[in-house]
Amino acid sequence: MKNIAVLVSGGGTNLQALIDAQSSGIIKSGKINLVISNNPDAYALKRAENANIKTAVCNKKELGNDFEDALINILEQNNTDIIVLAGFMCILSEKFTSHFANKILNVHPSLIPSFCGKGFYGLHVHEAALGYGVKVTGATVHFVNEIPDGGKIIMQKAVEIKEDDTPETLQKRVMEEAEWKILPLSVEKVCSEN
Ligand code: GAR
């Protein structure tokens, strides 16, 4: 059984999908034993508390250059095997990613290599997809390395764009149809193969 730490920044619907997948048995080779947020006000922390999962806050603004060392310390103290970035809005340096090589997963709300990399996060990704006029988008789960959204792809799922989509309606559909499905499946895959 792998110890899974989930890193969050906001609403935490992907964290919720992981918690639900654990309850339903989709995730069975690992257990979420820690949720860390860089944002003390993240609703994701409440979701973790409701599921009786230990939480920690690593405030990047307060910690400055010590942010990643603080993260590494908490992760090591909790014997973390697998790290899941689930709406975690901080870019991690090579020092951090190489410390946990092939152990960090991220969910990104587009079909990588489209609409990804620096500046492409949250709603901006869907604004860019609609602005370009693509007819299909989706979500990607990938390993995290030193290149933002550049690590090896684990799973992808396509989602159709509708004529009247707004960034908000598209974000919601990409989450429901793709992210909340492929993130738990990818976490189980990596836990069972490690
Ligand atoms: C999700 O759509 C996730 O893919 C995206 O932010 C949202 C977080 O929602 N992540 C990124 O854009 C990372 N580059 P959540 O807090 O409800 O899971």
pLDDT digits (tens, 9 = 90+) for 152-194: 999 999 999 999 999 999 999 999 999 999 999 999 999 999 8
- Cα–Cα distance, 189 to 24 (Å, whole number): 16
Q: Return the pLDDT at 194.
A: 85
In tens, the pLDDT along 46-87 reads: 999 999 999 999 999 999 999 999 999 999 999 999 999 999
Q: How far is the CA of 135 from the centre of ligand 1 (A)?
A: 21
Q: Return the pLDDT at 159.
A: 98
What tokens appear for 123 in the block?
């709603």
- Sequence-separated (6 or more) residues with CB below 8 Å from residue 6: 15, 18, 32, 34, 35, 36, 48, 83, 84, 86
What tokens appear for 179 in the block?
């992210």
Mean residue pLDDT of the chain comes to 97
- Cα–Cα distance, 185 to 139 (Å, whole number): 13
Does the annotation count 108 as an active-site position?
Answer: yes
Q: Could you list the residue range(s) of the whole structural domain that residue 56 is in?
A: 2-193
For the cut 90, the answer to whether the pLDDT of residue 28 exceeds it is: yes
Q: Average the pLDDT over 135-157 and give the result.
A: 97
Question: For residue 171, what is the domain's CATH number?
Answer: 3.40.50.170
Q: Which of 170, 65, 68 is nearest to 122 (CA)?
A: 170
Q: Which atom of ligand 1 lies at the shortest distance from residue 149's CA? A: 14
Residue 138 in contact with ligand 1 by CB distance below 6 A: no
Task: Return left, alpha or beta for 142; rule: phi > 0 is left, psi -120 to 50 is alpha, else beta.
Answer: beta
Q: Which atom of ligand 1 lies at the shortest distance from residue 109's CA? A: 4
Q: Average the pLDDT over 1-24 and give the result.
A: 98
Residue 142 in contact with ligand 1 by CB distance below 6 A: no
Q: Which of 14, 64, 48 is nearest to 56 (CA)?
A: 48
- Sequence-separated (6 or more) residues with CB below 8 Å from residue 123: 167, 168, 171
Q: Which of 23, 20, 4 is nearest to 12 (CA)?
A: 20
Domain count, the chain: 1
Q: Return the pLDDT at 29.
A: 98
Residue 122 in contact with ligand 1 by CB distance below 6 A: yes
